[in-house]
Structure 1
Amino acid sequence: MSQSINQSRRNLFSRRKSNVTRPPWSKVDEQFTDNCTRCNKCITACETNIIKQGDGGFPEIDFSLGECTFCQLCVDACPEPVFDLTQPLPWSITASIKDSCLTYQGVWCQSCKDACDPRAISFVMAVGQVPKPVIDTDACTGCGACVSPCPADAIQICNSG
């Protein structure tokens, strides 16, 4: 009995890993939220307006609003130590296709491919079927350009690491 109470207390005070996407080059979530003052300078600086105020007032990315161009304006605007430009990649996220993709219902659609500048999305032809999307996760930058044009809300950007 007391073991389950102790476990509950530990869970109460332990930090949970956030499932939100922070701006590119953000430090790990705990370091980000510990140092971010929620001044909104990164939100104001974002050239594509995809950074919004999320839970607790912390900035997060909303790819339904557009894509990240990796312009670094959010990094430049921030006076706090929440970004790390020495990281080899701006973030470790990639696109994935959900079951709601129109091609799985036999509808010809390639809006995600058309929006993908790095050409990470291709379509595989099959006899008697509409082409199905395939994402090259090595080529995907996680920019989110494919998210908002999708008419079926079938693309999600998630952690690849």
Structure 2
Amino acid sequence: MAELSRRKLFSGQWRRPSNVQRPPWAREEALFISGCSRCRACIDACETGVLIAGGGGYPEIDFSRAECSFCRRCVSACDAGVFDAEADRPWRLQPSVSTRCLALQGVECRSCQDGCDTGAIRFRPRLGGIAQPVLTAAACSGCGACVAPCPTDAIALTRSENNE
């Protein structure tokens, strides 16, 4: 659980970080927070262990631990109604690669591609240089399998309302 202190209050660290990802099929943030009882049923039901109790005890995704298999066990385990099981997509996450990427720094690495079953991350050869990562957002399921294998934490999945 998050530590509360005057220092965190005055520094603004009491706010929920913008990069927190809720479980798949979670309703919009305000509805999720107001309805979630923090019972941990969804966390305990998660088959891969990607769900954790985050800030305030609310469930969130930690892709550094595992990937999401979209098994829907979190949705089935929840009695609070904070999941939208009828939604077309589990979430709208967009992959991005930061400048910490080894390939972008001239070091051969394809760890993220190796973890991506959908082929959303590929490497384009460069004449006389190291192949560079190319992301295809439309192919990305948002499972997070590319995040944990990256040795420099260069891969991130962030919420996007624009990707179809």
TM category (shorter chain) comes to 0.7 to 0.9
> Does the C-alpha gap of structure 1 residues 113 and 76 become closer, same or farther in structure 2, counting only changes over 3 Å?
same
Give 5+ residue unaligned stretches, structure 1.
1-14
1:152 Cα deviation after fit: 1.1
Give 5+ residue unaligned stretches, structure 2.
1-14
1:71 Cα deviation after fit: 0.3
* Alpha-carbon distance in structure 2 between the residues aligned to 1:90 and 1:109: 30
* Alpha-carbon distance in structure 2 between the residues aligned to 1:77 and 1:46: 9
> Does the C-alpha gap of structure 1 residues 137 and 61 become closer, same or farther in structure 2, counting only changes over 3 Å?
same
Whether 1:149 and 2:149 are equivalent positions in the alignment is yes
> Does the C-alpha gap of structure 1 residues 18 and 105 become closer, same or farther in structure 2, counting only changes over 3 Å?
closer
Q: Deviations over 1:66-99 (max 9, x none)?
A: 1000000111111111000221110011221011
Are the counterparts in 2 of residues 25 and 83 from structure 1 also a CA contact under 8 Å?
A: yes
* Alpha-carbon distance in structure 2 between the residues aligned to 1:54 and 1:35: 16
* Alpha-carbon distance in structure 2 between the residues aligned to 1:155 and 1:88: 25
Report SS of the residue matched to 2:123: strand
Q: Report the counterpart of residue 83 of structure 2 in structure 1.
A: 83
* Alpha-carbon distance in structure 1 between the residues aligned to 2:16 and 2:52: 21
* Alpha-carbon distance in structure 2 between the residues aligned to 1:37 and 1:89: 24
* Alpha-carbon distance in structure 1 between the residues aligned to 2:16 and 2:40: 23
Larger helix proportion, structure 1 or 2? 1
Cα-Cα RMSD:
1.5
Q: Report the counterpart of residue 20 of structure 1 in structure 2.
A: 20
Are the counterparts in 2 of residues 119 and 139 from structure 1 also a CA contact under 8 Å?
A: yes
AA aligned opposite 1:113? Q
* Alpha-carbon distance in structure 2 between the residues aligned to 1:35 and 1:89: 21
Tell me the TM-score normalised to structure 2 length.
0.86
* Alpha-carbon distance in structure 2 between the residues aligned to 1:28 and 1:72: 17
The alignment covers a number of residue pairs equal to 147
Whether 1:93 and 2:81 are equivalent positions in the alignment is no
Whether 1:115 and 2:84 are equivalent positions in the alignment is no
Tell me the TM-score normalised to structure 1 length.
0.88
Q: Tell me the percent identity.
A: 50
* Alpha-carbon distance in structure 2 between the residues aligned to 1:106 and 1:18: 31
Are the counterparts in 2 of residues 18 and 29 from structure 1 also a CA contact under 8 Å?
A: no
Q: Report the counterpart of residue 131 of structure 2 in structure 1.
A: 131
Report SS of the residue matched to 1:80: coil
Are the counterparts in 2 of residues 17 and 29 from structure 1 also a CA contact under 8 Å?
A: no
Are the counterparts in 1 of residues 67 and 144 from structure 2 also a CA contact under 8 Å?
A: yes
Structure label with greater radius of gyration: 1
Q: Report the counterpart of residue 49 of structure 1 in structure 2.
A: 49
AA aligned opposite 2:75? V
